[in-house]
Structure 1
């Protein structure tokens, strides 16, 4: 996209936001009324290891802060997990560095490493500037990467966080689907994800973010896109992996309910082996 085109898009978005936010009643709207604009990000942080192979969680925090987002879905988060991340609690540390609240949903929860007291945990996390009303760690089918002899079975690590955006509840889901070339497990995960989403109230505002480990045309994702809308909107681009020279679009922001996508972008950063996806949403 040329600089001229980017500038034109920015102007259109600015005009749209101004029109929405200055519409009759918007300026004086109370907590339960008027438009609500929400900026969200999905980011596989690769446990803080960048495209250069260096571990630096501060770089990840800077990417989040510079994007000026309200809610962030993080994948590949270590909590006292391994030497690669210094056995740090990355979820709590990123919350501190960004000034946001956090909910961590472990996929694995193992005994402490020798010489340590804290349990070893690895999974996904959600950061939020808005109040968190509730949080759930759902189970979906997984094939363990820790136990090579394990059979696919229900395992946790599919996070749901309900945040209050000026009094409006928004269901934010964060997922990390199976990475294997065989789509069988991903297909089961998609079906189970949809079953969980259907449990929300009718017309609920739903956001499903995450690393789907499949490109948009993958058959196993088709049922998902029948219910949810891809924030990228079918445009070219949006490639997220690998970060230094991306060739695949496997990281997503999808929306359901009365949610309008105002814009979406992929910042050209290399604090992880993935690039993040960012979208500005209008909740109606």
Structure 2
């Protein structure tokens, strides 16, 4: 990167379905290989932890660094969970957390979001989220995220996650007024995707460009495909 160029990072989002592939086999190594292939600097994962008990990680924490070049950020709910409500963040070594809020989201299903301020080449806030299955609940959840962000100081922000919204035209109006919803390819189901369930949303002081990601033949590591984008500060 030249001295006069804008700083940039690669960011990604992927619902890894607790490591369960389209062949109904749990294969953490296959997921880790998929993460590594993204060559991203920051990756938001959904369904990174199992739901029962202490919600242990679906990925072997001690192998993440060697397999992907990324390290889990310390946002877990306990020593065995990788994330919060299944939302986890991996980042390149040298990217550190300088602010953290765990957010329980409204609705009948247990859902949550994580708001993380990061020490990156320029200030950056990342929101990792997995919204509910019902549109009415998703609207309330987006209201809660927007309200939480308004309590924080202004900071360039990117929201990464599984929004569970099938439509490209409606359903995300609560967030569209203040943020840009990046036009991205459908991600679900991974073998023949036609639904845009996964989204990247960003504040107006950032520029994001969608990137293609490596596709594998045969069984997929998850029923979702990842999203990948290059982020630049304006």
Q: Same fold (TM over 0.5)?
A: yes
Structure 1 residue 265 displacement after superposition: 3.1
| Equivalent in 168, 191, 212 of residue 217 of structure 1 | 168
Structure 1 residue 64 and structure 2 residue 16: aligned? no
2:38 and 2:19 mapped to 1: Cα distance? 17
* Alignment of structure 1 residues 129-140 onto 2, 5 Å: 129=92, 130-140=95-105
2:157 alignment partner, SS class: strand
Gaps in structure 1 of 5+ consecutive residues: 1-20, 27-33, 110-116, 146-154
Establish whether residue 205 from structure 1 lines up as the match of residue 156 from structure 2. yes
Flag the structure with higher helix content. 1
Deviation at 1:42? Answer: 0.6
Please say if residues 45 and 77 of structure 1, whose CA atoms lie closer than 8 Å, have aligned partners that are also in contact: yes
Report the counterpart of residue 226 of structure 1 in structure 2. Answer: 177
Match among 175, 194, 203 for residue 256 of structure 1: 203
- Give the aligned partner of residue 55 of structure 1: 26
Q: CA deviation at 1:118?
A: 6.5
Partner-residue secondary structure (3-state), 1:197: helix
Higher strand share: 1
Length, aligned pairs only: 226
Q: State the Cα deviation string for residues 173-193 of structure 1 (Å, max 9, x = none).
A: 01111013xx21111111111
Residue pair 1:138, 1:158 contacting (<8 A) in 2 also: yes
Whole-angstrom distance in 2 between the partners of 1:68 and 1:59? 15
Determine the structure 1 residue equivalent to 2:114: 159
| Alpha carbons of structure 1 residues 139 and 75: separation in structure 2 relative to 1, 3 Å | same
Residue matched to 2:228: 278
Q: Residue 123 of structure 1: SS of its match in structure 2?
A: coil
Q: Deviations over 1:241-266 (max 9, x none)?
A: 01111120110111104111233335
Deviates most, 130-139 or 52-61 = 130-139
Q: TM-score, normalised by structure 2?
A: 0.84
CA gap of 1:61–1:263, structure 2 versus 1, over 3 A, is same
> Structure 1 pair 106/91, CA: closer, same or farther in 2 (3 Å)?
farther
User: Residues 82-231 of structure 1: matches in 2 within 5 Å?
Assistant: 90=59, 92-93=61-62, 95-96=64-65, 97-103=67-73, 123-129=86-92, 130-144=95-109, 157-166=112-121, 168-180=122-134, 183-202=135-154, 204-217=155-168, 219-231=170-182
State the distance in 2 between where 1:201 and 1:257 align: 15
- Write out per-residue CA displacement over residues 132-152 of structure 1, whole angstroms, 9 at most, x where no aligned residue: 22322112213136xxxxxxx
TM-align CA RMSD? 2.9
Structure 1 runs (4+) deviating above 6 angstroms are none
Larger Rg: 1 or 2?
1
Q: Which runs of 5+ in 2 are unaligned?
A: none
2: CA distance, partners of 1:271 / 1:278: 16
Deviation at 1:75, TM superposition (A): 0.4
Contact 1:105 1:158 in 2 (8 A): no
Deviations 1:6-62 (CA, angstroms, capped at 9, x unpaired): xxxxxxxxxxxxxxx44xx42xxxxxxx62111000100000111111111111111
